[in-house]
């Protein structure tokens, strides 16, 4: 599908904010408010038929106007073409769930909710999928501490798993540049 034909067909229905073509791959950026209708059109329109959702990925863009980006990768088996769609969100916005259009989006949306904290409106079962239910925070956010908030370890004397808050010693946080020898 050439860039010109693709833009003529798609831009009549979907309000595209930006379009790029990198190494024969079409990438469009759309508004979050138009996402649900846009994905319905891309799946059902005879000129597109993007019937397969390959993946959904979340991106944390810390210190930007829109902190999060959700990237969708669609495949049209009929036309042998791919389309990557990007939607930008800030922390107070939510994304629309594509579960009613692409049923396989269920797990990826749950994963993005779990790891980034991006809420998907009208998702049928939005709960943690990769972290424990008692886990606090979202570990793929760039402002999440690398060491986490708690330490999980097995205690030989008590013969059970202990969950304790992390206490870092000051000597481990500051590096001494003077050599001891």
Domain-by-domain residue ranges, the chain?
Answer: 3-131
- 59: phi then psi, degrees, rounded to nearest 5: -135, 135
* Average pLDDT taken over every residue of the chain: 86
Q: Higher-confidence residue: 170 or 14?
A: 14
pLDDT at position 162: 87
Q: Sort 130 into a burial class: Cβ within 10 Å, 0-12 / 13-18 / 19+.
A: exposed
Q: What is the pLDDT of residues 55-85, one digit of tens each?
A: 999 999 999 999 999 999 999 999 888 999 9
Q: What is the pLDDT of residues 8-42, one digit of tens each?
A: 667 777 888 888 888 888 899 999 998 999 999 99
Q: Sort 108 into a burial class: Cβ within 10 Å, 0-12 / 13-18 / 19+.
A: buried
CATH architecture observed for domain 3-131 = 2-Layer Sandwich (3.30)
Kindly report the pTM of this predicted structure.
0.81
Strands 25-30 and 16-22: antiparallel
């Amino acid at each position: 599908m050439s860039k010109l034909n693709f833009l003529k067909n798609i831009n009549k229905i979907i309000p595209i904010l930006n379009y790029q073509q990198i190494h024969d791959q079409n990438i469009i950026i759309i508004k979050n408010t138009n996402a649900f209708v846009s994905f319905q059109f891309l799946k059902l329109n005879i000129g597109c038929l993007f019937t397969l959702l390959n993946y959904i990925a979340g991106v944390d863009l810390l210190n930007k106007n829109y902190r999060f980006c959700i990237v969708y990768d669609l495949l049209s088996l009929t036309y042998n073409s791919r389309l990557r769609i990007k939607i930008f969100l800030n922390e107070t916005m939510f994304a629309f769930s594509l579960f009613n259009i692409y049923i396989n989006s269920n797990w990826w949306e749950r994963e993005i909710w779990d790891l980034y904290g991006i809420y998907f409106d009208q998702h049928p079962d939005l709960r943690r999928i990769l972290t424990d239910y008692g886990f606090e925070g979202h570990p793929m956010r760039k402002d999440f501490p690398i060491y986490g908030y708690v330490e999980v370890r097995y205690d030989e004397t008590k013969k059970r798993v202990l969950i304790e808050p992390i206490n870092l010693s000051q000597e481990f946080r500051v590096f001494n540049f003077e050599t001891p020898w």
